[in-house]
Amino acid sequence: MKIFLKKNSGAAGLRGLRGALARILPDCRPARIPGGLSVRISSPAGAGDALPRLENLPWVASAALSDYELCPLACARGPKTFSNPLDFTAARPVFIAGPCAVEEEEAYIASALALKAAGAQALRAAIFKPRSSPYAFQGLGWPGLRTIARAKKLTGLPLATEATDTRQVARLAGVCDVIQIGARNMRNYELLKEAARSGRAVLLKRGMRATLREWLLSAEYLLKYGAKKLVLCERGDSLSIPGRPRLDLEIMAAAKKLTGLPVLADPSHAARDRAVAAALAVKALRAGADGLLIEASLDPLTALIDGRQTVSIETFRLLAAKFPCKSRI
Ligand code: PEP
Ligand code: MN
């Protein structure tokens, strides 16, 4: 942590800060840096409590944690700790594919089988959909659980499903292998805690316009509350400028470098168009994504939601075939 003093605080300010540090963080050994003090933090909990108290001191201009201090739990884990249900240790990227939402049962099963044959290692299996519009299809809800359980049995593939409410988590975790925290819920801390306690792997999307710091602190919640397997997913920001890249591949790379966790890209929601989604998928994999969470199905043209950005099985098959080996950041 670095603490900077106000310009006119002088030697008295420095003394005052040292005295306050001795009370607030008694074990720390502050070192002088230009303009203030640098302090090594041994526990994230201590740092979390100390920061607002230090910022509140009359001589302090600012206090900030470094990125490494922000994600000490995540940093302590390497990519090798994440194995089943998705194996990120293998040399090839992981593809989680399926329609945006589960709709009609037989159509979903047919897509699931076709996606497996085309190279998917896990299925998107959303039965609860958080939608910006209250009038849009919100997912099948619990009646869809039977459908995704059947797809899992028939394909043998693990399921990734989104939980939108703490009350859904335990029941979803009974069937699904990965609990997805969607962009809108990245800052829903009670949901993060519940997902972490589920015992299932958790996929955490970056919230729309969330900073790296906010994203990693949400990851930190998951690790603190017990998630043993965690994967991050960059999905872009909803406000995109036409012609500009719509996934933040820099944030994706930084998250990967800082945490050592696997980081996927979701090219679908950033694209809003299936040709753009396919192009973004290639770009993200070339930039070092550990895999994709991608909307793909047998019949995107009849989908109730997000059909526009859903790629065909053939497009998905070509994509998966193009990346048999992981490219590195
Ligand atoms: C999704 O993956 O189905 C989804 C709703 O995405 P996001 O949370 O990124 O909007
Ligand atoms: Mn979607």
Instruction: Work out which ligand 1 atom sits closest to the CA atom of 100.
Output: 3
Residue written as token pair 């108290």: 53
Cβ atoms of 221 and 196 closer than 8 Å: yes
Residues facing 292 on adjacent strands: 95, 265
- The 3-state secondary structure of the chain, one letter per residue: CEEEECCCCHHHHHHHHHHHHHHHCCCCCCEEECCEEECCCCCHHHHHHHHHHHHCCCCEEEEECCHHHHCHHHHHCCHHHCECECCCCCCCCEEEEECCCCCCHHHHHHHHHHHHHHCCCEEECCCCCCCCCCCCCCCCCCHHHHHHHHHHHHHCCCEEEECCCHHHHHHHHHHCCEEEECHHHCCCHHHHHHHHHCCCEEEEECCCCCCHHHHHHHHHHHHHCCCCCEEEEECCCCCCCCCCCCCCHHHHHHHHHHHCCCEEECHHHHHCCHHHHHHHHHHHHHCCCCEEEEEECCCHHHCCCCHHHCECHHHHHHHHHHCCCCCCC
Q: Quote the ligand 1 centre to 292 CA distance (angstroms).
A: 13
Look at residue 100 in the predicted model and tell me its pLDDT: 97
Measured from CB, residues less than 6 Å from any atom of ligand 1 are: 100, 126, 162, 182-184, 205, 235, 266, 269
Provide mean pLDDT across the span 166-171.
98
pTM of the model: 0.89
Of the residues 269, 295, 311, which should be mutated to test ligand 1's pocket, given the most ligand atoms within 8 Å of the CB?
269
Instruction: Work out which ligand 1 atom sits closest to the CA atom of 185.
Output: 8
Residue nearest to atom 9 of ligand 1 (CA): 183
Report the C-alpha gap between 323 and 310 in whole angstroms.
Answer: 19
Q: Quote the ligand 1 centre to 321 CA distance (angstroms).
A: 25
- pLDDT at residue 80 greater than cutoff 50: no
Residues with Cβ within 8 Å of 304's Cβ and at least 6 positions away in sequence, in order, are 101, 103, 137
Give the ligand at the shortest distance from the Cα of 182. 1
| pLDDT per residue as tens digits for the range 40-54 | 876 666 677 788 899
Tokens of 194: 């519940």
Residues with Cβ within 8 Å of 141's Cβ and at least 6 positions away in sequence, in order, are 127, 128
- pLDDT at residue 245 greater than cutoff 80: no
| pLDDT per residue as tens digits for the range 90-113 | 888 999 999 999 999 999 999 999
- What residue type is assigned to position 73 of the chain? L
Q: Quote the ligand 1 centre to 68 CA distance (angstroms).
A: 28
Q: Quote the ligand 1 centre to 182 CA distance (angstroms).
A: 5
The closest alpha carbon to 110, from 123, 126, 121, 94, belongs to 123
Q: Quote the ligand 1 centre to 112 CA distance (angstroms).
A: 19
- pLDDT at residue 282 greater than cutoff 70: yes
Provide mean pLDDT across the span 55-66.
89
- What residue type is assigned to position 22 of the chain? A
Look at residue 37 in the predicted model and tell me its pLDDT: 94
Provide mean pLDDT across the span 5-23.
93
Instruction: Work out which ligand 1 atom sits closest to the CA atom of 235.
Output: 9
Residue 145 has phi, psi (to 5 degrees) of -65, -40
Look at residue 294 in the predicted model and tell me its pLDDT: 98
- pLDDT at residue 74 greater than cutoff 80: no
Q: Quote the ligand 1 centre to 69 CA distance (angstroms).
A: 29
**Assigned CATH for 74-322:** 3.20.20.70
Of the residues 96, 176, 234, 266, which should be mutated to test ligand 1's pocket, given the most ligand atoms within 8 Å of the CB?
266
Residue nearest to atom 8 of ligand 1 (CA): 182
Of the residues 100, 131, 272, 311, which should be mutated to test ligand 1's pocket, given the most ligand atoms within 8 Å of the CB?
100
Look at residue 67 in the predicted model and tell me its pLDDT: 64
Please tell me whether the peptide bond between 85 and the residue prior to it is cis, using omega within 30 degrees of 0. Answer: yes
For the chain, domain boundaries: 2-64, 74-322
Provide mean pLDDT across the span 130-159.
96
